Structure 1
Amino acid sequence: MSAPVAASASPFLATIPSPDQGVWYLGPVPIRAYALCIIAGIVVAVWLGGRRWVNRGGREGTVVDVAVFAVPFGLVGGRLYHVATDWQKYFGPDRNPLDIFKVWEGGLGIWGAVALGAVGAWIGCRRRGIPLAAFADAVAPGIVLAQAIGRLGNYFNQELYGGPTNLPWGLEIYRRIDPATGLSDPIAGVAVDHTPVAVVHPTFLYELIWNVLVALVVLWADRRFRMGRGRVFALYVAGYTLGRLFVELLRADEATHIFGVRINVFTSIVVFLLAVLYLFVVRGGREDPQSLRGKPLPGDDDAEPVPASVTGDAAEGSEEATEESAEAETRTTSSGKDDSSGD
């Protein structure tokens, strides 16, 4: 949960209200908005990634198969990164190390989620016999959209906000308590009333909007330049980290600092530079659609064909290559005739 923020002098005339609560109960079962947002993001990422994979020439269902490995690895990696960089929340005086397992209270670092999720994706891709770089390109826009949806979970948890502001889109923060005990409970509690204790920068909203814009840019660039070989994923990483850098500078929640600067600021800069370097170093268009089919599966004789849009592009490229070859052969033949006539 974020550190207390001093109340703003804003008259609260045009601000964004926070939800009264982020947890509802179905009998004894808690329904947590944060968890629902994470699940919704995963569903969107898998759905969009699956459509893009098929459109590029891959088999239907491949993204789901790989997600079986990538998603659990990503969740574990995200939690490990959060615990490693915000260890003071779980260790030390008055801290409970068992809180590490309370994922529903928030705390998933995207850097760890992507890193360890990539390991899971690599395992899944190896099993299916498909190139990891091509798979990453297909799922990149869906991942950043999932991140946008996940930020709504921070909204319901009243966490990850910035410092006080008088801007019209300031976020109202309410005092929440546990109705059963009357004790303060910022995550699972219910708002006492709608009198804000602070009005702050809604950094979750800034990042949400930025992520949607990154997804649109990545989709446009991929369609316009027919990118491949991991370059779509690199573009997503570069775009996301650029926005995350500025969001981190606005956040006021607890975080580990290095030289007085939040650790995620340094992480954003380093990852951004690596992604840009990859974009400049790696060249080449999309992979051959047939290479995305993977290992033979039972019933391949009756399997669905490569989508027409993909085969059409491949055929067009084949025709261009054939025309170039024919032109080269003609030039060679003409040159040979000239030489013979000169003799």
Structure 2
Amino acid sequence: MLSDVVLAFQFTSPGRGIELGPLSIRWYGVLIASAVLIGVNLSQYLASRRQVNPDLISDLAIWLVLAAIPSARLYYVIFQWRDYAANPASIFAIWQGGIAIHGAILGGVIAALIFARLKRVSFWQLADLVAPSLILGQAIGRWGNFFNSEAFGSPTDLPWKLFIPLDRRPLGLENVAYYHPTFLYESLWNLGVFALLMFLFFKRPRLKVGTLFLTYLVGYSAGRVWIEGLRTDSLMLGFLRMAQVVSLTGIAIGALGLVWLYVLRRSLPDVVPDPNTPDSQPS
């Protein structure tokens, strides 16, 4: 009985996707599409609870997708250029994996700032409405790494180890079959952050604008710092793990923002002076 329980934690990817005649379905793409669909609906619901026009979220979602996915890919390709230099066409094969969430976040923030400026709405209000959907989408999307047998951790013999096929194992570790399932660690961590944000949204409705997004920055980044330390395929800048550098920066920005709001008792700089301005409806 105990051995059955232990074996149940030994994860093995069933493959990158399935073939239905001429149609190839990649689980990574299915997960990304599902995360976007769920996220848009969730943020629209949260917007309605804050008396914000839900149509504003659906308009924003288009901007975020158009900015985040290419940015996530570009960020990854820049740091892994040696893998794409010989075959640049593979840059566009995003269904094979190889996107970086930090690139998506940076691209999404830039797009949201431009969108908020054009629509004359509070960037921080939008960010608060999107933050729970973002972290939930990250929790879902991490399972794409599982199906692709990528972004795993260092070797381990723990009961919840992850089996990696021979052709996906790191150079020099070809004889090692089991690794830390970092996709699972991050997915569970992100679900915890999601639960925290939802608790704050519904139980602390009078929180200052920007609090949820800043809490997201601190919460997600804190988990990413220690999880990234387990990985064998981190994007590197010299001897630095870029995800840890960016995550530590995110923690600092989030913490300083919360201090600004609750210790100094000041509003965050925004693209509009008042998130409750009558112009906060979409044009």
Give aligned pairs, total.
264
Contact 1:59–1:293 (Cα < 8 Å) also in 2 = no
SS class of match (2:277) = helix
Retained in 2: the 8 A contact 1:58–1:292? no
Q: CA deviation at 1:38?
A: 0.7
Q: Is the 8 A contact 1:171 1:202 kept in 2?
A: yes
Evaluate the alpha carbon distance shift between residue 293 and residue 63 of structure 1 in structure 2; reply closer, same or farther with a 3 A threshold: farther
1:161-183 CA deviation, whole Å, 9 max, x = no partner? 011111110111234xxxxxxxx
Per the alignment, residue 127 of structure 2 pairs with 136
Q: Name the residue aligned to 1:162.
A: 153
Question: Matched residues in 2 for 1:290 and 1:265: separation?
Answer: 36
**Unaligned runs of at least 5 residues, structure 2:** 1-5, 169-174
- Percent of paired sites with the same residue: 35
Tell me the equivalent position of 2:217: 237
Alpha-carbon RMSD: 2.5
Change (3 A) 1:97 1:296: closer
Deviation at 1:13, TM superposition (A): 4.5
CA distance in 1, matches of 2:192, 2:138: 12
The alpha-carbon distance between structure 1 residues 13 and 273, as it changes in their structure 2 partners (threshold 3 A), is: same
Alpha-carbon displacement from aligned partner over 1:63-89 (angstroms, at most 9, x marks no partner): 111111111101111111111222232
* 1:22 equivalent among 16, 27, 30: 16
Equivalent of 2:231 in 237, 240, 251: 251
What is the rounded CA distance, in whole Å, between the counterparts of 1:172 and 1:158 in structure 2? 8
Structure 1 CA distance, aligned partners of 2:75 and 2:225? 17
| Distance in 1 (alpha carbons) for counterparts of 2:80 and 2:212 | 31
> Aligned to 1:101, which of 92, 100, 114?
92
Mapped pair 1:272 → 2:251:
yes
1:64 aligns with 2:58: yes
- Alpha-carbon offset, residue 40 of structure 1: 0.8
SS of 2:25's equivalent? Answer: strand
User: How many Å apart are 1:106 and its aligned residue?
Assistant: 1.1
- State the shift of 1:197 in Å: 5.9
Residue 196 of structure 2: aligned partner? 217
Q: Distance in 1 between matches of 2:231 and 2:278?
A: 41
Verify the 8 A CA contact 1:134 1:228 in the aligned structure 2. no
Tell me the distance in 1 between the aligned counterparts of 2:53 and 2:59.
11
Q: Does structure 1 residue 148 correspond to structure 2 residue 127?
A: no
Deviation at 1:111, TM superposition (A): 1.4
For the 8 Å contact 1:67–1:121, the answer to whether it is kept is no
Alignment of 1:1-343 (within 5 A): 13=7, 15-91=9-85, 95-175=86-166, 198-225=177-204, 226-253=206-233, 255-259=235-239, 261-282=240-261, 283=265, 290-291=276-277, 294-295=280-281
Q: Give the drift of 1:144.
A: 0.3
Letter of the structure 2 residue corresponding to residue 105 of structure 1? Q
TM-score normalised by the chain length of structure 2 = 0.85
- For residues 289 and 130 of structure 1, the distance between their equivalents in structure 2, rounded to whole angstroms, comes to 6
Deviation per residue, 1:195-246 (Å, 9 max, x gap): x961110000000000000111122233344323222101101100000000
Question: CA separation in 2, counterparts of 1:121 and 1:288?
Answer: 17
- In structure 2, give the amino acid aligned to 1:28: P
What is the identity, as a one-letter code, of the residue corresponding to 1:294?
S
Scaled by the length of structure 1, what TM-score is found?
0.71
**Contact 1:17 1:173 (8 Å CA) reproduced:** no
* Unaligned segments of structure 1, at least 5 residues: 1-11, 176-183, 187-195, 298-343
